[in-house]
Amino acid sequence: MTATAPITQDVLTLPRKLREDGKMNLVGLTRPALQEALVAAGTPERQGKMRMNQVWQWIYQKGVRDFDLMTNLAKPYRTLLAENFVVEVPEIVSKQVSDDGTRKYLVRIAGGHEVETVYIPEEDRGTLCVSSQVGCTLTCSFCHTGTQKLVRNLTPGEIVGQILLARDDLGEWPEPGRNPKDETRLLSNIVLMGMGEPLYNFEAVRDAMKIAMDPEGISLSRRRITLSTSGVVPEIARTAEEIGCMLAISFHATTDEVRDRLVPINKKWNIAELLDSLRAYPKLSNSERITFEYVMLQGVNDSDEDARRLIKLIEGIPAKINLIPFNEWPGAPYKRSSNNRIRAFADIIYKAGYASPIRTPRGEDIMAACGQLKSASERARNARRAEKPAAE
């Protein structure tokens, strides 16, 4: 096989930036885009599908990054691949491990930006909390990420790359011929609950989750993937149709007046509009129920009346209510509700027939809990600014 001219951007359906050395990263390409890229680089058209399948399995099933280790490909073909492509995942800059086993990775992506990815081990599962954006355009008043401006959307490769690098760190690449069962996997679930609003980066999140679900790769069931949104109503039906994963809604309030303050996107799509879009979700996506996330803020949204209003609002929607004790961060304008208050609230909901688990904060000692993520570089920048005398 002879090497052909280097591939150019415009032959690909999916616009991809080439690296400075002219090579393209294969991680994050959908199957058709991967096939197209391989053919554009000189793979004979009629072999395209087979080669795509082989390379796909090396990357996502076996965790191989070096073309030379792809032993079912002929040597000259491996060379051709190495001349045109790389298999690259974002770099782990640092890793912190909490007393409770939670691991927080600071991950560097192209351009020197950083995001955080959190691994949470539990008895019956291991959940990876994945980021979809650097920062967030939204400004929920209780969320640390919301105080950091949006820097940019992550690419599909950077989103799926977080899964691959966590598997590297956990040492979870199967031995040849042995695929892990869901129940025994270290990384068995994914939640899109890291930094960013996933539905404001829809296509990249969709492509990355399709790769995560692909049976010849990471092969997680769509029921083990939960996308959390603050309520980008027009994209909710699309999530059901094009991704089909489980859905969590950052609900957090029972009146528009309070939700406008906590989750400002509510001014664009209010509670009634949000609930309408949710009623259609389970049928569209064939999933059993929707998770309502509800952060418990002392004296703001935690009264018995709120609990009763919540039940009324969600009537008819198969739901589970996740109560999240507010995780504090430096300068946060709220306090966590007391344990008694949270329990009383949970009780009312439970008696109305809904599961109402109180989420135990994980990794608090390393600022890895929900809503505490913010890139370390941004934190350091702010700290330096605060330390410097004004005249400097």
Stretch 96-135: interaction string toward ligand SF4, x if CB under 6 A = ----------------------------------------
188 is a site residue for ligand SAH (CB under 6 A)? no
* Edge-to-edge order in the sheet of strand 91-97: 91-97, 103-109, 113-121, 126-129, 189-192, 225-229, 246-250, 290-296, 319-325
Q: Which is nearer to ligand SF4, 67 or 326 (CB)?
A: 326
Report the half-sphere exposure of 324 (CA within 13 A, side-chain side): 24
User: 346 contacts which partner out of ligand SAH, ligand SF4, none, CB within 5 to 8 A by kind?
Assistant: none
CB of 311 to ligand SF4, least distance (A): 23
193 is a site residue for ligand SAH (CB under 6 A)? yes
User: Binding ligand SAH by CB under 6 A: which of 36, 197, 207, 302?
Assistant: 197
- SS3 for 336? strand
User: 375 contacts which partner out of ligand SF4, ligand SAH, none, CB within 5 to 8 A by kind?
Assistant: none
Burial of 63 (0-12, 13-18, 19+ CB in 10 A): middle
Crossing angle for the helix pair 48-60 and 31-40, to the nearest 10 degrees: 120
Maximum separation of any 2 CA atoms in the chain, in Å: 72
Q: Which is nearer to ligand SF4, 166 or 265 (CB)?
A: 265
User: Binding ligand SF4 by CB under 6 A: which of 80, 143, 240, 321?
Assistant: 143
Structure tokens at 233: 């109503």
CB of 177 to ligand SAH, least distance (A): 37
- SS3 for 9? helix
Burial code of 334-344, b = ≥16 C-beta within 10 A, e = fewer?
bebbeeebbee
Q: Which is nearer to ligand SAH, 47 or 270 (CB)?
A: 270
326 is a site residue for ligand SAH (CB under 6 A)? yes
327 is a site residue for ligand SAH (CB under 6 A)? yes
- The Cα–Cα gap between 356 and 46 comes to 54
154 is a site residue for ligand SAH (CB under 6 A)? no
CB of 140 to ligand SAH, least distance (A): 6
Interface residues toward ligand SF4, by CB under 6 A: 136, 138-140, 143, 145-146, 196-197, 230, 250
